[in-house]
Amino acid sequence: GQQVMQIPQYQHVQEGEDFTTYCNSSTTLSNIQWYKQRPGGHPVFLIQLVKSGEVKKQKRLTFQFGEAKKNSSLHITATQTTDVGTYFCAGRNDYKLSFGAGTTVTVRA
């Protein structure tokens, strides 16, 4: 079945630095979504990418969808303490959305 893998599992970042988290699927995806879950909270939708090679930006967050539609990345610039949480990618194939295990981000001031 479809598998979505994320790396790294943990990312400890100095405030102000940049980092990237990666998402890879074993199958070609129709689209990919990213969610953020704050500690003790529930997943909250961030963005959806549909087109091959698509790039979308939300302030300091940049999302990319690979040309083969099997991988994606999230790049955060100038990390802030508000970026703390777990970032999940979720790949869609047909109507099924498969979540990765997430990248848990902590920030040191």
Partner 1 sequence: EAGVVQSPRYKIIEKKQPVAFWCNPISGHNTLYWYLQNLGQGPELLIRYENEEAVDDSQLPKDRFSAERLKGVDSTLKIQPAELGDSAVYLCASSSPGGPTHNEQFFGPGTRLTVL
Stretch that binds partner 1, among 12-20, 55-63, 68-76, 88-96 (CB under 8 A): 88-96
- DSSP assignment string, 87-104: EEEEEEETTEEEE---EE
Per rule CB under 8 A, is residue 43 in the interface with partner 1? yes
Cα torsion 52, 46, 99, 51 to 10°: value is -10
Question: What is the nearest approach in angstroms of partner 1 to the Cβ of residue 16?
Answer: 27
Q: At 5, give phi and psi (nearest 5°).
A: -120, 140
Per rule CB under 8 A, is residue 73 in the interface with partner 1? no
Please report, as ranges, the residues that interact with partner 1 according to CB under 8 A: 4, 31, 33, 41-45, 48, 88, 90, 92, 95-102, 104
